[in-house]
Amino acid sequence: MNWLYELDNRLISLFDNPGVWWAGLVVAVVVGCAHAVAPGHGKTIAAAYLIGAHGRYRDALLLGAIVAGMHTFSVLVLALGWVGLTASGGTDTRLLTSWLQVISALIVLAVGVGLLRRYVRSVRSAPELAAAGSGHGHGHGHGHGHGHGHGHGPPPGVAPWSRRGLVALGLSGGLLPSPSAFLILVSGILTGRTAYALILVLCFAIGLAGTLTAVGLLVIKGSSLLTDSARRSSRLTFLTRAVPLVAALGVTLGGLVYLVVGATAVWSA
């Protein structure tokens, strides 16, 4: 994608020109947003997880914050590692980044399997919950108003929210750093401008996380609208019950694909 490479080069050139440091901060945020919009970076998997786990708006915000923090941390660790390898005479970090990709893929795969297990458990427990709810209704003929309050919970087949899964997915999304952010921090360390380079990396992470958060908010809103519409349509009701399964399968499949790509990179490194 030529436009993305041009943005990366623009950011690097601004870093090399200290006179326009403020412009570098703005461009770093824009480049972070652009990288999030480009293919990859876990947008589809994050969206699928938020649907499958019946996520809330605060969960999308937390996911973005975790991705931003993890991306900044991984860039810092990899840059320091590269400088250390350079000093010791070895500069090939390709194997390290390949292993990071494998680790990220394993995390995503584990999250997907966890979603599938929760979906299976929710399907098995749905008849028992329905029977219990029916029995409760006969015992309190005048209390049917209480039944409406229970309608705000996840519908049958929707897995309960998992904070551990959210954290794991956020960590995997930020584990593999962007090459442009990595190059800027390495240049900053080697030229004695580490603080400014780290600020640019933080701005990049803010742009990346902001876009991922926006995608998550839109997905959650769309899922909520679909659930509300399903209460008036039997066909949509079936669809809403199938969506968590599709989302769980999507996360699992994405983890498998990432694992194959990462393992191939390790083998060829």
| pLDDT tens, position by position, 56-75 | 888 888 888 888 888 889 88
Residue 145 lies in a domain: no
Token pair of 231 as six digits: 């209460």
Number of domains in the chain: 1
What whole-number distance in Å separates Cα of residue 76 and Cα of residue 91?
A: 16
Residue 143 lies in a domain: no
Q: What is the largest CA-CA distance in the chain?
A: 80
Token pair of 215 as six digits: 């995608």
Residue 144 lies in a domain: no
Confirm if 53 and 62 have CB atoms less than 8 A apart: no
Residue 142 lies in a domain: no
Residue 195 lies in a domain: yes
Confirm if 55 and 32 have CB atoms less than 8 A apart: no
Residue 169 lies in a domain: yes
In the DSSP assignment, the letter for residue 6 is H
State the Cα angle at 159 between 158 and 164, rounded to 5°: 150
- Span 88-107, pLDDT tens digits: 665 566 777 788 888 888 88
Question: How much of the chain, in percent, has pLDDT values that exceed 90?
Answer: 8
- The answer on pLDDT for 235 being more than 90 is no
Range of the domain at 188: 20-85+92-124+159-268
Residue 228 lies in a domain: yes
Give the CA radius of gyration of the chain: 23
Instruction: Report which secondary-structure segment, H or E, holds 147.
Output: helix 145-149
Residue 243 lies in a domain: yes
Q: What is the value of pTM for the model shown?
A: 0.71
